[in-house]
Amino acid sequence: QDGTCNGLQHYAALARDYSGAFAVNLIPSPMPQDVYTAVSKVVDARVRKDAEQGVSEALKYLSRSGRVDRKLVKQTVMTSVYGVTNVGARQQIEARLEERGWDNEDEVYRVSSYLSKATLSSIGELFRNAEAVMRWLASCASAVASTGKPVEWRSPLGFPISQPYYETKLAPVDSSLQKFWVQKPSTVVAKRSQRTAFPPNYIHSLDSAHMMMTAMECKAQGVAFAGVHDCFWTHAATADAVGAILRDTFVQLHSRPLLEELVENMKQVAPGITLPPIPPKGQLDLRMVQKSPYFFS
């Protein structure tokens, strides 16, 4: 049983983001929702509106491709939860255009730049509360790193985590054959890396906790379990049991004040630090996950 873009599932639960939760199957639905299709529809509508207003990149894309489809945005949606940058998103969409026969470098660059911004903006529109949490996590990491300390916290299961990102210096080494450079580690934290890496790392600490909580409950109930990231296995006869367990443990995990606990962790790392306020949450009732057939499927 696989999660639906599991990182976004955790963001939607953290933020109690109802619209985002629906897109990633946290809410019961008669048919499975596909977040990539949902984003592609939002982007397509935006591109068509821009084309009506004469935006050249929108006109160029529609004249050659007709519509924004699922495949065009899928990689960017998948990696948005891991902090993909504007440059990374542009390169991803650039690759999709080249696969479709676009070969004019200037056109590819301009259209992919336009589409990548539209895609990232559309994800934020669909996951408005969740995006606010993502920005808040990055801001908290910046605040900690500004004190000269790495970001550290404990997973919901108490596992200590530290981001080992430090600045490096290049030192020249002369040999009889050539001159080369080696990296020398330092104790100066890499502030940019601390900021950009923290949101995905924090989400990974949640999905790993969810997997371990599921594994421990399966063991307690005598049910076979194996898992990698957001893909859980068991025997056919116990599939329904594991499905119920993983839903219950997800609700149990996100019923905790996770962001408040994170704030306390950070204040222990950097006493006296001032952190931005936790973003307001949406209206999602987490208990709906327990009745959602396509949450993990």
Strand partners, 166: 189
Q: What is the pLDDT of residue 25?
A: 96
Check 44, 230, 248, 267 and give the catalytic one.
230
d(C-alpha 78, C-alpha 76), whole Å: 5
pLDDT band at 103 (very low <50, low <70, confident <90, very high): very high
Chain segment 198-249, per-residue pLDDT in tens = 999 999 999 999 999 999 999 999 999 999 988 999 999 999 999 999 999 9
Half-sphere exposure of residue 16, counting CA atoms within 13 Å on the CB side? 15
pLDDT tens per residue across span 149-187: 999 999 999 999 999 999 988 888 888 888 888 888 788
Q: Which of 2, 71, 240, 285 is catalytic?
A: 2
CA–CA dist 243, 238 (Å, integer): 9
- Residue type (1 letter), 69: D
Please report the pLDDT score of residue 82 as a whole number. Answer: 81
Give Cα 172 to chain centroid, integer Å.
38
Let me know if 2 is a catalytic residue.
yes
- Please give the pLDDT value at position 215: 97
pTM of the model: 0.89
| 291 has catalytic annotation | no
Point out the catalytic residue in the list 17, 44, 74, 207.
74
174 counts as catalytic: no
pLDDT greater than 90 at residue 94: yes
Average pLDDT estimate for 82-90: 89
Q: What is the pLDDT of residues 268-295, one digit of tens each?
A: 999 999 999 999 999 999 999 999 999 9
CA dist., res. 213 & res. 118, Å (int): 37
